[in-house]
Structure 1
Amino acid sequence: MLATSPLGRLRRRDPGDAILRRAARLTIVASVVFYGCRYGAGSPILATYGLFGTIAAGSFAQLPGPAPQRARILVLSLPGVWALIVAGSLLAWSTWAAAGGMLVIGFVVAFAGVGNPRLVGLASAFQLFYILASFPPYQPGTLPQRLGGVTFAIVLLAAAEVVLWPDPVPVSYRQRLTQAADGVAALLDAAADGLTHPHAGPGDRDARRQRAYDVVAAIELGRNPPEWAPTAAGVQDRALRICAAALREVLVEADRLVADAPPEPVGDLAAAGLLRSCADTTRAAGRSLSPGAPAVRIDGLDTAVGRAETAYPVGEGDGRDASDVPRLCRDATALALADQVRVFAVGARVATGARLHGEDATSGLFEYARHSPWTLYWWQFRSHLAPRSAHLHSSIRLAVALALARVAAGVLHLTHGFWVLLATLTVLRTSAADTRTALRPAVLGTIAGAAVSGAVMFVVDEPIVYAVVLPVTLMLAFGVGRLLGPVWQQALFTLLLTVVFAQLSPEGWRIAEVRLVDVLLGALIGVLVGVAMWPRGAAHDLRYNATRYLAANADAVEQTVQAMLGDAPSPDRALDRVRRRMILIDSSYCQYHFERHDPHRQQVNWSALLSAGHHVVPGADALLRRNPPGCLAGWPAAAVLLRGSAGHLRSAYEALADEVAHGRPAGPTPLPTGCAAELDRIRPALGEADPRSIRHLVEVDRWLAGLADTLARIHPPAQGDSAGRRGQP
């Protein structure tokens, strides 16, 4: 019966009662603050700022981390809150002064999210503090009461976060990375066993493979709450994002080795030893992300890589067959896998604050870790003070909308004009699609709430009644309303405001009418500004950066192949360009992660697309280290083979860039290939080639095949293609 009752349906929408617990904390704190200030101290000003301080910090602020961390953030935010209230109070003497302050403060607070998108949740609360203080009456002498009410509310709320039913700590992103590393390490162990005992436990190997894909899928940013995802510009968050990309590449390489396991034992002890060392390093790097765990050591992996490179077939007369292309292919894959494991391990060291040695700057991916956090944030801010920055667009859009709303409220002499700005802040989003989505519930909910509030106030005119029902309306607005949906939440919030102002400044049933007019005006301003100013949001910026990123990858791949053939110098500049554009697309994706996405527009596997550069850059660097430029010069058959593969890849990159930019279908996607297919491609070119050149050819060709796999994951081939034999993360 409980499962089918209204209460049972609400409980299913709130697993673990997280929303109800938070609403109960907020209700208790808001009630204590309001009753204490309004009836205990007899001060409507204390009560107003105390109650709205509780609502802003407890409902509008979306803070990351466990309860003690959230409490610490609340307390540390107090100086900023005081500054905003002081600024708003001093500028409230003039509508135009207050609107100018709103324009500046609105932009600065919103643009602060460039350095850490998780600050966006706190930014909404900060905007509210200035909004509330910037409206008449102009009474600078009441500043002590205003600051006292807010301080009392925030300190009490911080204590309640820790003491009253603290939320259970969810699985953090670092813990998900640890789980993913364990899953991938188990698959690496299975791949090592496949080289020496191919028929040992195929069922167990398949189970490990499936679990590895499941746990790696869980580390995509889109599958993690925004307040927990590593989206900041700081050293550790960037390292965690690189770790995730490297781990996805390790999984793909491991899956390829499992799929290409030889039918009979080959006794490839060096490659098997390398894979087991990779498994140990991956497992240790993942576990090092836990608090208090020792930093992962990389010297063991480097030793195993050196041993494997020594055992790599290099010529005749040493007991190894240099024309054994399948074995060469497996060895090249194992070495490419080890390169990605090293990136993951170095990333884990950076994420845990371990010292970065000179040799740890893998492929230049972690050069940023040598700079201070303030330098990194400054670079981030500077890079987004550009005409095409979605961060800049959204910050200007919000600041202009709030300033216009403040002017409208002042010019029209609205009694509760801050409701206009609150509605604008509620409706306006970073894209027109998000704004349209927020508009309907805001308007419908306000109409319903105003109608009910007006009817209640027309019948009940005793303030004591509203004082008694305040806790009930608080619980309905912040608990039940959130569970029922946006329309109910807006309606119950309107009812809550009516109950509050019936005790602060009784105006009768007309306060519901005022609330409705203010919300409609604020929503109209939000919609007009959202449609008129850069309506496409971060998605447009992300697609633009993605096309440039793919073009840079295509150039780097082509120049690397030309360097191997002796047709061009080392592709250092092309690889540096990929690294620079990787930073831009990474930043765009972090903002895109916070937006609603248009369901009618073709979606892209952005995680796989971002991983493309993580495959190109360290892969090319390792390739050039083991295969010096010009190593394939003078081999016409190899040149024809590699130029053809590089040309197909360039065409695929360009087609994908065109698809991402304009939504048009891409051309034929390169299909993932196994060692058997590569053997068929390479064998006609072997002839009487030098054994060392055969090794170089196989490794370059295997790198190109791995890039084809990356493109296949970005845009999976149609059903029935041979790529279907391998799962897509």
Structure 2
Amino acid sequence: MFGTSLLGRLRRRDPGGAVLRRATRLTLVASLVFYGCRYGAGSSTLATYGLFGTIAAGSFAQLPGPAPQRARILVLSLPAVWVLIAVGSLLAWSTWAAAAGMLVVGFVVAFAGVGNPRLVGLGSAFQLFYILASFPPYQPGTLPERLAGVTVAIVLLAAAEVLLWPDPVPVSYRQRLADAADGVAAFLHAAAERLTDPHAAAGAQDRQRQRAYDVVAATELDRDPPGWAPTAAGAQDRALRICKVALREVLAEADRLAADAPPEPIPDLAAARLLRSCADTTRAAGRSLSPGAPAVNPADLDVAVERADAEYPVGTSGVREAVDVPRLCRDATALALAGQVRVFAVGCRVATGARLDAEDASVGLFEYARRGPWTLYRWQFRSHLAPRSAHLQNSLRLAVALAIARVAAGLLQLTHGFWVLLATLTVLRTSAADTRTALRPAVLGTIVGAAVSGGVMLVVDEPIAYAIVLPVTLLLAFGLGRLLGPVWQQALFTLLLTVVFAQLSTEGWRLAEARLVDVVLGAVIGVLAGVAMWPRGAGYDLRANATRYLSANADAVEQTVHAVLGAAPPPDDALNRVRRRMVLIDSSYCQYHSERHDPRHEQVNWDAVLSAGHHVVPGAEALLRRNPPGCLAGWPEAEALLRDSVGRLRSTYRAVADEVAHGQTPHPTPPATTCADQLDRIRPLLGEADPRSVRHLVEVDRWLAGLADSLAQVHPRSSM
């Protein structure tokens, strides 16, 4: 019964068998390397670095992507591994020199993940390579053996990734985005049909709408494995993130347009024709993300926009009754939707490496695509060199903790001092609460493992016995232990280390005692560092960054409106501030998902907070392309109306930011009314207005209404 229950538990925790496959690959490679180096070549140094190179690269490194990509990353990482081992070996002559090196290496390796979060998984492995080499004995002459052992291990592990039971390739993020584009396109076609015939296929449209929302929700970054989410600073990943936001905005605009369907059929409606062209472009752009597909060309959409622009109804000057306000609003919404579709199409071109033409209307949003990759990474690093950067705080915390652990291990002259740093690296988390949570299984598992190991070593003192059971302990530590939980994992890992070092030294049962002392010391250092340095974790930083982010968005909205009124220059600086703060809040948000959440802070829907801000930047740029600065200058009534609207919206931003900063429940603002109701207050202004100015007023007012609608979503998930 127990065996059946255990097997069922393992299947539930590893339904696809990925953990057991990887554990088996690691076991085969580690055993081959260790046996060949220790007993074949007769070198303890080769065996030590070969085995720990396999464990570091195969277990501690969480690599992204399919098997060929993981293998390529392993091989390409070899120069960095050689440098870390060489530096550690040369600094091992002095405790203080090794600790200073640990401080620098710890920070640089951790902070390097800013450029590409998908490669953060390599950080722990890189730290281990330096840690292992920086401890006595100081033997620079063994450096060739050390490098050779690690190189053989990594090359064999890379080959095993490709040749031995490769993991199935999950659905890529690009495919998810293509599926979402197809679902949104179907909804756009249904919405266009409903505009020309409100009584046709209402049920079908509802089904298409629900499917569109489902597939767009599947493009959220936390729905994909970390190795597949587009989180890097490179041009293509940034384009994919913009595509995701643009597609969500297309769906939101389509929903508003569908809600404003006329009560009676309107044949040959310009908005419907434009909507169909948007649907075709959206579907084509999504399909262009597939490997080998041709790049999307938004030329047909541009023609449809020009045609809709020419047919834009503005009425006759002086004849207020001639203005078809509902159609005016529907066409304004359709043009705004087309702008977001064009952003999506251009983003797909950048994401697939297609050339971005200089005359492209959306080039402002993708200006970064003209920069080289090193420039983009430099911008990313510079953005995170700020006190509120979660990456900066994490990197400093980890570097200081590891340096202190290295000093403690050196001053106490611990035989296996690198276990102290390994324990610190294992226990330390991004918040004090998570660090305390990791402490108990680490210490408890080590106690259990040390007790079992010590008992075994008192009874068995033949190295050949430990050589025989090495593959079994490897499979248990990295397969069964990982599936059963952290206590089991730590206990079995302790047993594994005992089995390994029983073949490399003659310490006997004292090896288990040393392991226990080292782990307790390292865990204490990790806990103290977690409590002393930014103990509140990403939750606190997320609230602070969200407050500044929302305030920056409010400034950008206000300056955008002042620009169209001719009272201020274009809000380039304000939009750049939003972009910079977007980097920090995204970083805090990603880290927040990896922590235990304080129930008091669960009152905020963080997805909605980020979406409210994402609505501003592309929206403001698209608005200013169609409504240039000063287009509403000299119309006092429109100026008074828009200043009143933006003032109330700014107050809402400020109120939501204040509530988010204090962890309170944001009070939802009243949802936006229908298009015609929203424009009722504009009707009195239409009498003597210039037709083009009426159009500009409608588009600006609808943009502000959409922003208010986004802010209305910032409320607890439980009440949604």
Shift of 1:532: 0.8
Shift of 1:268: 4.3
Shift of 1:16: 1.1
Would the aligned equivalents of 1:81 and 1:129 in 2 still touch at CA under 8 Å? yes
CA deviation string 1:253-279 (max 9, x = no partner): 112222222232112432112111111
Alignment partner of 1:455 is 2:455: yes
SS in 1 for 2:601: coil
Judged with a 3 Å threshold, the aligned counterparts in structure 2 of structure 1 residues 360 and 523 are, in CA distance, closer, same or farther, namely: farther
Would the aligned equivalents of 2:116 and 2:231 in 1 still touch at CA under 8 Å? yes
- What residue number does 1:180 align with? 180
- What residue number does 2:152 align with? 152
- What residue number does 2:136 align with? 136
1:707 is matched by which residue type in structure 2?
L
Judged with a 3 Å threshold, the aligned counterparts in structure 2 of structure 1 residues 236 and 293 are, in CA distance, closer, same or farther, namely: same
- What residue number does 2:578 align with? 578
d(CA) in 1 for partners of 2:283, 2:319:
34
- What residue number does 1:380 align with? 380
Would the aligned equivalents of 2:19 and 2:479 in 1 still touch at CA under 8 Å? yes
Count of residues in correspondence between the two structures: 720
d(CA) in 2 for partners of 1:433, 1:357:
50
d(CA) in 2 for partners of 1:407, 1:198:
75
d(CA) in 2 for partners of 1:628, 1:402:
55
Alignment partner of 1:371 is 2:371: yes
Alignment partner of 1:263 is 2:263: yes
Judged with a 3 Å threshold, the aligned counterparts in structure 2 of structure 1 residues 422 and 200 are, in CA distance, closer, same or farther, namely: same
- What residue number does 2:229 align with? 229
Give unpaired runs (5+ residues) of structure 1: 725-729
d(CA) in 1 for partners of 2:504, 2:718:
64
1:491 is matched by which residue type in structure 2?
A
Shift of 1:312: 0.8
- What residue number does 2:531 align with? 531
Q: Which stretch of structure 1 is more off in the superposition, 150-159 or 571-580?
A: 571-580
Shift of 1:297: 0.8
CA deviation string 1:86-141 (max 9, x = no partner): 11111111211211111111111111112112222101101101111111111222
What stretches of structure 1 move > 6 A for 4+ residues in a row? 1-4, 317-321
Alignment partner of 1:549 is 2:549: yes
Judged with a 3 Å threshold, the aligned counterparts in structure 2 of structure 1 residues 630 and 14 are, in CA distance, closer, same or farther, namely: same
Q: Which stretch of structure 1 is more off in the superposition, 564-573 or 282-291?
A: 564-573
- What residue number does 2:650 align with? 650
1:432 is matched by which residue type in structure 2?
A
d(CA) in 2 for partners of 1:561, 1:65:
44
Would the aligned equivalents of 1:196 and 1:266 in 2 still touch at CA under 8 Å? yes
Give unpaired runs (5+ residues) of structure 2: none
Shift of 1:402: 0.7
Judged with a 3 Å threshold, the aligned counterparts in structure 2 of structure 1 residues 662 and 643 are, in CA distance, closer, same or farther, namely: same
CA deviation string 1:593-615 (max 9, x = no partner): 55554444235444443333443
Would the aligned equivalents of 2:390 and 2:587 in 1 still touch at CA under 8 Å? no
d(CA) in 2 for partners of 1:39, 1:548:
61
d(CA) in 2 for partners of 1:617, 1:100:
43
Alignment partner of 1:327 is 2:309: no
- What residue number does 1:75 align with? 75
TM-score normalised by structure 1 residue count: 0.93
- What residue number does 1:189 align with? 189
SS in 1 for 2:16: helix
Judged with a 3 Å threshold, the aligned counterparts in structure 2 of structure 1 residues 716 and 518 are, in CA distance, closer, same or farther, namely: closer
Alignment partner of 1:63 is 2:75: no
d(CA) in 2 for partners of 1:98, 1:384:
27
- What residue number does 1:474 align with? 474
d(CA) in 2 for partners of 1:682, 1:456:
85
- What residue number does 1:314 align with? 314
Q: Which stretch of structure 1 is more off in the superposition, 106-115 or 448-457?
A: 448-457
- What residue number does 1:727 align with? none
Would the aligned equivalents of 2:172 and 2:228 in 1 still touch at CA under 8 Å? yes
d(CA) in 2 for partners of 1:37, 1:707:
64
SS in 2 for 1:503: coil
Shift of 1:667: 4.1
CA deviation string 1:147-175 (max 9, x = no partner): 11111111110000000000001112111
d(CA) in 2 for partners of 1:285, 1:595:
36
Alignment partner of 1:514 is 2:538: no
Shift of 1:462: 2.5
Alignment partner of 1:203 is 2:194: no
Would the aligned equivalents of 1:559 and 1:571 in 2 still touch at CA under 8 Å? yes
Would the aligned equivalents of 1:323 and 1:694 in 2 still touch at CA under 8 Å? no
Shift of 1:711: 1.1
Would the aligned equivalents of 1:565 and 1:629 in 2 still touch at CA under 8 Å? yes
d(CA) in 2 for partners of 1:241, 1:651:
29
- What residue number does 2:505 align with? 505
- What residue number does 1:105 align with? 105
Judged with a 3 Å threshold, the aligned counterparts in structure 2 of structure 1 residues 608 and 245 are, in CA distance, closer, same or farther, namely: farther
Report sequence identity in percent: 81
2:260 is matched by which residue type in structure 1?
D
CA RMSD of aligned residues (A): 2.6
Would the aligned equivalents of 1:37 and 1:46 in 2 still touch at CA under 8 Å? yes
CA deviation string 1:550-582 (max 9, x = no partner): 122212222333444455454444344434433
Shift of 1:629: 4.5
Shift of 1:492: 1.0
Q: Which stretch of structure 1 is more off in the superposition, 115-124 or 502-511?
A: 502-511
